[in-house]
Amino acid sequence: MSGAVVGYARTSTADQQAGLDAQIAELRGAGCTRIFSEQVSGADTARPELQAALDWVRAGDVFVVTKPERLARNVIDLLGIVERLRAKGVTVRILAMHLDTGNPTSNLILTILAGVGSWEREIMLERQRAGIAKAKAEGKYRGRAPTARAKTPEVLRLKAEGQTVAQIAESVGVSRASVYRALAEAT
């Protein structure tokens, strides 16, 4: 007995309704009888419809997405989701890549993608570190701007008006520790 064919569609923002509608149409064309969809950024960890879809599928079902980036934030995330579904006995189909985890070749391709994704991330971080080191050596890198220190004049003014540290922190929008630091550095 074969299981359900379940689809998942996602766009990042509400103004991408046409893209969401196109994904849903493509999923219906692929035979999906149940489709979960949402408009939320892929970087957002709270994707309630994805979670609902992952909870809903059962052994023997096929989970379908149009493209990998609709399902996951990155290759590592994709592999985690695929493994979670595989553990439940669910096959994953990615239409744009013609991948179906029901066959060994698709599993090999996904594993290679994971390796390449991990390698790309390491290379990017290495380049970033080299760029920061170069900028520091040239005196161009200053790091993150000290936002609380920029508010020292306002902190001093409010203290002179008789406000407490807690009141100053609330008005200026910094922590109490930042207020104490500003006061200490000013004396």
Token duo for residue 48: 């309630």
Whether 2 is catalytic: no
Catalytic residue among 12, 118, 171, 178: 12
| Cα four-point dihedral sign 44, 49, 55, 57 | negative
Token duo for residue 137: 């050596």
3 state SS of 173: coil
Calpha distance 69→114 (Å, rounded): 13
Q: How far is CA 48 from CA 60, 66, 75, 97, 155, in A?
A: 23, 19, 20, 25, 42
List, by residue number, the catalytic residues: 12
